[in-house]
Amino acid sequence: MPTESGAAVTADSVLRPLPRPRVATRPGPATAPPEAHAVADASDGGARIAAIVIAAAWHLAIALPAVLRAGPGMAFPAVVAVGWLVTALIGVWAGVLLLRGELPPARSLAAALLVVDAAVVAGAGERFLFSTANWVWGGLAWFFLLALWRRPVRWLLVMLAAHGAIAVTAVVLYGATASADLSRATMYVYGTSTLPAAVFVGAAALTAQARARAATAAAALAVAAEREAAERARTERQERLALVSGTAEEVLAELASGDADPADPAVRRRAVLAAARLRRLIAESDDVPDALLDALRAAADLAERNGLPIDLVAVGTPPELPVEIRRGLADPLTAGLAAAEGWARLTVVAGPDEVVVSLVTPDHDGPDETTTGGGGPVEHLHERDGEIRWTQTRWRRT
């Protein structure tokens, strides 16, 4: 029987499977990832182009000829013409922004369009109230669409209501209150509002649906990535276990065959190293590798390769920590490990609000360059008492 429990542990552990990994419980993304926005942008691209084409066609092919035909017959032809021009400029501007994937400033454009609306109705005069020369009735709603793209639907409904109110006010002011005129006005307002509203609502629904689908896809992707990381960690662990088991078996076989003498310090050291490595592997129970533990494990592996038997014991799961805190916790210990002689014990005790990492090694006469660090969110203590060198870093959520 070797004097160190390591060999017995080794024989046991090799025969037994590693503990089953826990099911990943990290929370999924709280908000839709950027990919979801990209998908949403792409999905309503067709509807944007359609709206721009309809607005341009109406403005050029229907409104412009009618205005030119009516010409000086209107009450204030210049006002109507300027209105047409302003609307055309707004349309070009909003259209370019929309094609680039940006949204135009909705409020100011909406206000400008309503001013144009009222001005053109007044400028066309009573005679052209119900004709195509009063082009705002039929065509302006499509420009509302461009200005309010991707804004809440109720904004468009408010605009259309204002548009209808301007028309009704004009009808009343011009005294066209005969029932035929009123029903004609209602029909005009209704007819010219419903189609843009339908396009607008349809595009919004499509976008919402596409965004939800994209968010679902992104969440599924994140879960898959996490599973893959866990799978990879597991595979790596199995590989390392196979490797470590090999070296442990070698020592055991030599001991059993009598080729190695348990009293030989070199043999004992090999047994201790193999046992420490196995213990560390068995203690790894985190599925999705934690960055802090990963860093400490890497440092431990490095120190061990230089022949230092090292125990790494972690209790609890560290919360997600910013890089500088993680480094503040790990770096002093990594430095301490480099100077360690004999053996080392590295421990991590982690909770959601506190993480304490500690390194204990036997004290020796060698230089001790580690200093006690202050400041920052990580408290750092280092001391040597003739028996041990003790480095401890501690982070507390404030």
Partner 1 sequence: MDADPLAADVNAGWPIGVAIVDDHPVVIDGVRAWLAGEPRLRVVATGDDPDEVLRAAPDAEVVLLDLRLHGRMVLDKLAELSAAGRRVVVYSEHSDPPTMLAALDAGAVAFLAKHEGREHCVGTVLAAAQDRPYVPPALAGAMVGDARPDRPALSDKEREALLLWFQSMSKASVARRMQISEHTVKQYVDRARIKYTRAGRPAATKAALLARAIEDGLVRPEDIGIYRSQASADRPTP
Interface contacts to partner 1, rule CB under 8 A: 1, 3-6, 8-9, 11-13, 16, 19, 275, 279, 282-283, 285, 311, 313, 315-316, 345, 347, 349-352, 356, 358, 360, 383, 385, 387-388, 390, 392
Candidates 373, 382, 379, 381; CA nearest to 395 is: 379
For residues 308 and 229, what is the distance between their CA atoms, to the nearest angstrom?
29
Least CB distance to partner 1 at residue 289 (A): 17
Q: Which is nearer to partner 1, 243 or 313 (CB)?
A: 313
Measured CA to CA, the distance from residue 318 to residue 356 in angstroms comes to: 10
Helix or strand (DSSP H, E) at 84: helix 77-99
Closer to partner 1 by Cβ: residue 218 or 299 = 299
| Tokens coding 313 | 């014991």
Angle separating helix axes 106-124 and 77-99, nearest 10 degrees: 150
* Nearer CB in complex with partner 1: 1/23: 1
Q: Find the shortest distance in angstroms from Cβ 324 to partner 1.
A: 23
- 8 Å CB contact between 137 and 188: yes
CB of 315 to partner 1, least distance (A): 3
Nearer to partner 1, 146 or 357 (CB): 357
Give the nearest distance from C-beta 18 to partner 1 in angstroms.
Answer: 11
* Minimum separation from the CB atom of position 373 to partner 1 (A): 17
> Which residue number, 63 or 346, has a Cβ lying nearer to partner 1?
346
Question: In angstroms, what is the minimal distance from the CB of 385 to partner 1?
Answer: 5
121 neighbors 167 (Cβ within 8 angstroms): yes
Q: Which of 237, 256, 257, 234 is nearest to 245 (CA)?
A: 237
Name which of 26 and 69 has its Cβ closer to partner 1: 26
Cβ burial 160-180 (10 Å sphere, 16+ → b, else e): bebbbebbeebbeeeebeeee
Q: Give the H/E segment covering residue 396.
A: strand 388-396
Number of C-beta neighbours around residue 155 at 10 A: 16
Nearest to partner 1 of 25, 31 (CB atom): 25
Shortest distance (Å) from residue 262 CB to partner 1: 12
Q: How far is the CB of 242 from partner 1 (least distance, A)?
A: 18
Q: Which of 87, 95, 152, 137 is nearest to 113 (CA)?
A: 87
For 279, residues 6+ apart whose C-beta sits below 8 A from its C-beta are: 9, 13, 311
- Which residue bears the tokens 């021009």? 85
Closest CB to partner 1 among residues 9, 50: 9
Tell me if residue 343 falls in helix, strand or coil.
coil
Please state the closest distance from residue 279 (CB atom) to partner 1, in A.
6
Look at residues 351, 259, 346 and name the one whose alpha carbon lies nearest to residue 300.
Answer: 346
| 10 vs 207 by CB, closer to partner 1 | 10
| Minimum distance of partner 1 from residue 16's CB (angstroms) | 8
| Of residues 193 and 393, the one with the C-beta less far from partner 1 | 393
Task: Find the helix or strand (DSSP H, E) in which 393 lies.
Answer: strand 388-396
Sequence-distant (6+) residues with CB within 8 A of 94 are 104, 109, 143, 146, 147, 149
